[in-house]
Amino acid sequence: MKRAVVLLSGGLDSTVTLAMAQAAGFEISALSFDYGQRHRAELLAASRIASQAGIRDHVVVRIDLRAFGTSALTDEIAVPLDRTVEQMNAAIPLTYVPARNTIFLSYALALAEVRKANDIFIGVNALDYSGYPDCRPEYIAAFEAMARLATSRSVGEGEQVHLRTPLILRAKTEIIGLGTELGVDFSATVSCYQASDQGEACGRCDACLLRRDGFIQCGLPDPTRYVESVRRPQ
Amino acid sequence: MKRAVVLLSGGLDSTVTLAMAQAAGFEISALSFDYGQRHRAELLAASRIASQAGIRDHVVVRIDLRAFGTSALTDEIAVPLDRTVEQMNAAIPLTYVPARNTIFLSYALALAEVRKANDIFIGVNALDYSGYPDCRPEYIAAFEAMARLATSRSVGEGEQVHLRTPLILRAKTEIIGLGTELGVDFSATVSCYQASDQGEACGRCDACLLRRDGFIQCGLPDPTRYVESVRRPQ
């Protein structure tokens, strides 16, 4: 059975990506990061999801991005709320963490080498949320080209590393549709940038708004657990 | 004054690289890693060297590479001793840490973005020690191409990132010569893969043998502090 490394944040996109990798027949090594993100519930969700999916190799790497500051995901900067999609796409968001995907993929590359996996799955999406430079197809292609020169496999025979981004050009509605077909339990996933410790979503940050809109457009009930202040007006 | 990030391990090559970056007029942010390496003395050396060089911005990032095992630099595998240069170059060494430079450079890229530095210096060398895939010029070029797509600068105007590898094709003797011209205090540097806590070198690992040979070929006294068992037969 071929092995793949899957980056698993505990959010909707990475969980669907994991289901797709499993459906494609890969044995999975899941990789999550504890980087001081303030939505700790995401990490708990990743562990639950990996367990539900029957994954026995789930590596959580502690990394200290706080030294690099400047992001609303790790700092005390307020998460922007109630923005339109146009506002979201107008500039690189405050929630951008410098070089985050580059750091995450570098660890994935190391784990892939140790586990002898040729495939790395990452649930980046360039369509619904184009604010992050390190989600674009040209970035992914450049990382793959670099990765093929970076490891001990690149100087021996052996197969090359493939970076798999099955969601990169899919709309949120498609991603939810794919996940539904594959039996993903969306209620276990946490997308909110400021979820409570119990995994309740704020309903107002960019991630919440895009996610909720996806369920509405799919005509599917939204299984997200929201904080009380959001639940009531709905 | 233009700012540069310099990867500073505390070894001979990175210390000469730092001196070259300073001589070129850059204001320096030094970056070191605490990755569970068993030669802790290297990290202490990095701090001393940064301090001697008058660097006020020295970031030490803790990362946990031990999760990725398999390397003699972090594991309980014995460091190979007393090898010839031919033996060193015959295969990827046991001291290879999977994707290490990729992970290190990814953090450097993040720090460069936060500090608004356009230049990243790394003291890799492909000539004297060609066993590591992630020291080769083609790897460095591929990382730079990826880096230029990875960060927020790549979507705005702003200058692009340059990866500087001033030592990449230099012989150890040249590197020692350059460092001597720039006033580098080589006695402060630690290259040994299994240095004692006091920074004494074993004199027998690949790094020690290459370094000692460099001083001999330069006709310079070797300022390295060796453990007693090596000092005596000399």
pTM of the predicted structure, to 2 decimals? 0.88
Q: Find chain A residues with C-beta within 8 A of B113's C-beta.
A: 98-99
Please, what is the end-to-end C-alpha distance for chain A in angstroms? 46
Instruction: Measure CB to CB from residue A151 to each of B98, B105, B146 and give the nearest one.
Output: B98
Give which of B150, B94, B124 is closest to B7, Cα–Cα.
B124
- pLDDT tops 90 at residue B28: yes
Q: Which pLDDT value is given to residue B38?
A: 65
Give which of A99, A207, A119 is closest to A159, Cα–Cα.
A119
Q: Which pLDDT value is given to residue B118?
A: 94
With b meaning 16 or more CB within 10 Å and e meaning fewer, what string describes B50-68?
beebebeebbbbebbbebb
Look at A136-140, A215-219, B51-55, B97-101 and tell me which has the smallest mean pLDDT: B97-101
pLDDT digits (tens, 9 = 90+) for B66-123: 566 555 455 556 677 888 877 776 665 555 677 889 999 999 999 998 888 999 999 9
- pLDDT tops 70 at residue A56: yes
CB-based contact, A143 to chain B, within 8 Å: yes
A85 Cβ contact partners less than 8 Å away, ≥ 6 residues apart = A209, A210
pLDDT digits (tens, 9 = 90+) for A94-108: 556 778 899 999 999
Contact B99 A143 (CB under 8 A): no
How many helices (H) does chain A have, and how many strands (E)?
8, 5
How many CB atoms neighbour CB B176 within 10 A? 23
Average the pLDDT over A55-71 and give the result. Answer: 76
A201 — pLDDT class (breaks 50, 70, 90): very high
Task: Give the C-alpha separation, B103 to A102, whole Å.
Answer: 8
Q: Which of A107, A130, A134, A136 to mutate to test the interface with B (most CBs of B within 10 A)?
A: A107
Q: How many CB pairs under 8 A join A and B?
A: 138
Look at A13-27, A64-78, B69-83, B98-112 and tell me which has the smallest mean pLDDT: A64-78
CB-based contact, B142 to chain A, within 8 Å: yes
Contact B92 A136 (CB under 8 A): no
| Greater model confidence, B75 or A191 | A191
A67 — pLDDT class (breaks 50, 70, 90): low
Q: Which residue has the tokens 């350059």?
A: B178
B234 — pLDDT class (breaks 50, 70, 90): very low
Q: Which of B75, B151, B153 to mutate to test the interface with A (most CBs of A within 10 A)?
A: B151
Architecture of domain A3-231: 3-Layer(aba) Sandwich (3.40)
- pLDDT tops 70 at residue A229: yes
- pLDDT tops 70 at residue A130: no
Instruction: Measure CB to CB from residue B155 to each of A67, A92, A142 and give the nearest one.
Output: A92
Instruction: Measure CB to CB from residue A62 to each of B64, B110, B145 and give the nearest one.
Output: B64
- pLDDT tops 90 at residue B12: yes
Pairing of strands A162-164, A27-34: unpaired
pLDDT digits (tens, 9 = 90+) for B121-175: 999 988 765 567 888 999 999 999 999 998 776 655 556 899 999 999 998 899 9
| Greater model confidence, A99 or A141 | A141
With b meaning 16 or more CB within 10 Å and e meaning fewer, what string describes B100-123?
bbbbbbbbbbbbbbbbebbbbbbb
Contact A98 B107 (CB under 8 A): no
B230/chain A closest Cα distance in angstroms: 32
Instruction: Measure CB to CB from residue A151 to each of B114, B133, B154 and give the nearest one.
Output: B133
pLDDT digits (tens, 9 = 90+) for B55-75: 999 999 887 765 665 554 555
Q: Find chain A residues with C-beta within 8 A of B139's C-beta.
A: 146, 149-150, 154
Query: Which stretches does DSSP call E strand in chain B?
Result: 3-7, 27-34, 57-62, 119-121, 162-164
The residue of chain B nearest to residue A31, with distances taken between CA atoms, is B67
- pLDDT tops 50 at residue A221: yes
Structure tokens belonging to residue A208: 């919440």
A78/chain B closest Cα distance in angstroms: 18
Stated as kind and residue range, the H or E segment containing A212 is helix A206-218
Task: Give the C-alpha separation, A179 to B26, whole Å.
Answer: 50
As a whole-number percent, the residues of chain A with pLDDT over 90 amount to 55
A88 Cβ contact partners less than 8 Å away, ≥ 6 residues apart = A129, A131, A206, A210
Q: How high does pLDDT run on average in chain A?
A: 85
CB-based contact, B127 to chain A, within 8 Å: no
Q: Which pLDDT value is given to residue B77?
A: 60
Instruction: Measure CB to CB from residue A111 to each of B68, B110, B150 and give the nearest one.
Output: B68
The B residues from 70 to 109 touching A (CB cutoff 8 Å) are 70, 92, 96-103, 105-107, 109
Q: Which pLDDT value is given to residue B62?
A: 84
Q: Which pLDDT value is given to residue A203?
A: 92
Residue B22, CB half-sphere, CA atoms under 13 Å: how many?
20
Contact A146 B146 (CB under 8 A): yes
Task: Give the C-alpha separation, A47 to B48, whole Å.
Answer: 41
CA dist list (Å): B234 to A71, B150, B201, B210: 54, 50, 14, 16
How many CB atoms neighbour CB B75 within 10 A? 15
Task: Give the C-alpha separation, B23 to B51, whole Å.
Answer: 16
Q: Which pLDDT value is given to residue A70?
A: 52
Task: Give the C-alpha separation, A121 to B144, whole Å.
Answer: 23
Instruction: Measure CB to CB from residue B61 to each of A67, A147, A148 and give the nearest one.
Output: A67
Q: Which pLDDT value is given to residue B84?
A: 81
The residue of chain A nearest to residue B71, with distances taken between CA atoms, is A114
Task: Give the C-alpha separation, B101 to A201, whole Å.
Answer: 37
| Greater model confidence, A24 or A83 | A24
Q: Which pLDDT value is given to residue A127?
A: 79
The residue of chain B nearest to residue A99, with distances taken between CA atoms, is B110
B75 Cβ contact partners less than 8 Å away, ≥ 6 residues apart = B66, B69
Q: Find chain A residues with C-beta within 8 A of B120's C-beta.
A: none
- pLDDT tops 80 at residue A66: no
Q: Which pLDDT value is given to residue A137?
A: 92
pLDDT digits (tens, 9 = 90+) for B175-233: 999 999 999 999 999 988 888 888 899 999 888 998 999 999 999 999 999 998 776 54
